Every structure is written in C-alpha cells, then in structure tokens.
Amino acid sequence: MRIEPTGATLGAVVTEVSLGTLDEAAWRGIERAFLDHAVLAFPGQHCTEAEQVAFARRFGELSIETLTFTNRAEDGSLRPPTDPLVQLLAGNEGWHTDSSFQPVAAKASMLTAREVPATGGETEWADMRAAYDALDEATRGLVEGLAAHHSLFRSQSRLGRDGGATAAGIASLYGRSDHGARTAAELPPAPRRPLVKVHPVTGRKALFIGRHAFAIPGLAPAESDALLERLVDEACRPPRVFTHRWTPGDLVVWDNRCVLHRARPYDPGEARTMVHSRVAGDPQTETAEELVAFDTLAA
C-alpha cells in the first residue's frame, strides 16, 4: 500500500490496496493516515455498495449506510435545474461539514463516484486545522470564545430556496413524499456549536464553520454573517485546499471533525452520480451545546 500526500496541508492518495479485501494490517495503516491527512482518496476501487458499507463501518457506526446523490430521475432522465432535489444538491457547492445542523454531527463521510461529468463536478476539501493555526492572534482570541448555530434550511434560504423547496428536496433524496410548506416555527431546531473544535483523537484545534453556521450569540446578525464569511474565505485558500477530479470507481473518505468540503459546479445537462456513506459522530464529542428553536433565530 502506498500513501502519497497531496502537497496541500491535507489529503493523501492511497494506492496498491483493495478496499474490498482489506486485511487488518492495511486497515491500521489507513486509520493512521486518516488521522494524519484527514482526507484519503482511493482511485479506481469500484467498490460495490456492500463493500463500501463494510469499509465505512471500520470507522464507526453509520448514520447513513448508502445514499445516492444524483441528478438522474427514477426513469433515467436528467432532472431540470429547478427540481427541488437538484437545488438541494447544488447547495453543496458551498463550503460545509456534514450533519453540523443535526444534534450530533458526523464523524466521517465517504463518496464513491459512479457517473461523472466531462468537466466540473470535482470535490474540494479545506483544512480547518491549518486554518486555525494560520489565524492572527487577535482573530484567534476572538473565535475561541464564540459559537454559532447551524441550519440547513437557513443556508438554503440564502440561496433563494424557501423551506418548502428544501423540505421537498430532502424528501426526494430519501424517497419520501411527506413534504410541504414549512414555516420557521416548524423547522428543526438549530444546534449551537463552538467556532473552535478540539479533535477528540488528535487533540488538534480546528475551525468549525461553513455555510450552515449563522447567528453567533452576542453579535448582531450582520456582524455575525460578516465574521463567518471572512473566516471561510480566509480558511479555504491554498495551501489548505485539496481538489479531487473524479473518475468512476474512485472512493474518498474524509474527517468531518476538521475539514470543510464542497462540490464544484458542472453542466446540468450531464449526469453526476455519487454513492454516499456517513459515519455517525460519537455523542460524547459531537453533540451540540444546545438546540434552539429556529424561529427565534430566523431574523
């Protein structure tokens, strides 16, 4: 097995290993590399869903075994850009970390590429450990004492999608029909999380920010938005960004506790199909400080 760092402050490409027939020694090497590099890309694995689930379970209990992210409809045609599911998935083009808007955030996430567009559609990851280390002294002192709420509905609303459209997209993603108009009072509560997270294994500090974060207690809404946007802008710059250009069969796994990620735009006239697995966070370290009713923060 070869583990080659990407040249950014995060990420490594792992080759000469088969994830479908992984032995314990190889797994231990992957586990160490995961903690060191935070993002591991495995080109050309072509894992079945069962193999992907088995590999994902090595990282912990799963909150999502497999979920297909695609702009294809059930009949194989391509969904239009106005489709609620396409609009939901397009939101992932903003920097974020998975499940930060849920009571327990995710530990890790995994994608396998099935179909990829000819151009665009890459995934990028940004190193929030190195981003924290690069903060000037004044900003570091400021963010150490702050927290923010997180909401998928709020981040989608900033892109012009109302609660009904977001609820419809979520229902479509999970193959449900139980959606409709959502008022602010009906939306899920918004967890509150510190802006600085201590990794539960490595002990390294990292920024915990992204598009779902908003409403820093003690700051006016405009001041909160400005600070969060500045932190993301400054954090997600080279050499702290790793970009992966997908080919079918590639698998990538990343540590949600210390990185942000985003999808890159692509031609909506082409298909992009990715199989996602998600590792649940440890409730002792990934549970939000508190949950606050969304309608009290909506202003």
Whether residue 17 contacts residue 42, with contact meaning beta carbons closer than 8 Å, is answered with yes
Structural class in CATH, domain 2-296 = alpha beta
- Looking at the predicted structure, is the pLDDT value of residue 299 above 60? no
Specify which residues 149 forms β-bridges with.
Answer: 192, 214
Q: Which tens digits make up the pLDDT trace of 95-120?
A: 999 999 999 999 999 999 999 999 99
Q: What is the pLDDT of residue 90?
A: 96
Task: Give the mean pLDDT of the chain.
Answer: 96
Q: What is the pLDDT of residue 186?
A: 84
Mean pLDDT throughout 180-204? 90
pLDDT band at 126 (very low <50, low <70, confident <90, very high): very high
Whether residue 258 contacts residue 27, with contact meaning beta carbons closer than 8 Å, is answered with no
- Looking at the predicted structure, is the pLDDT value of residue 177 above 90? no
**Helices 137-144 & 221-235, crossing angle to 10 degrees?**
130
Mean pLDDT throughout 248-272? 98
Least confident of 19-23, 39-43, 182-186: 182-186
Q: What is the pLDDT of residue 183?
A: 78
Q: What is the pLDDT of residue 298?
A: 66
pLDDT band at 181 (very low <50, low <70, confident <90, very high): low
Mean pLDDT throughout 164-192? 85
- More confident position, 298 or 16: 16
Share of the chain above pLDDT 90, in %: 93
Whether residue 273 contacts residue 117, with contact meaning beta carbons closer than 8 Å, is answered with no
Share of the chain above pLDDT 70, in %: 98
Predicted model pTM = 0.96
Q: What is the pLDDT of residue 180?
A: 62
Whether residue 259 contacts residue 149, with contact meaning beta carbons closer than 8 Å, is answered with no
pLDDT band at 86 (very low <50, low <70, confident <90, very high): very high
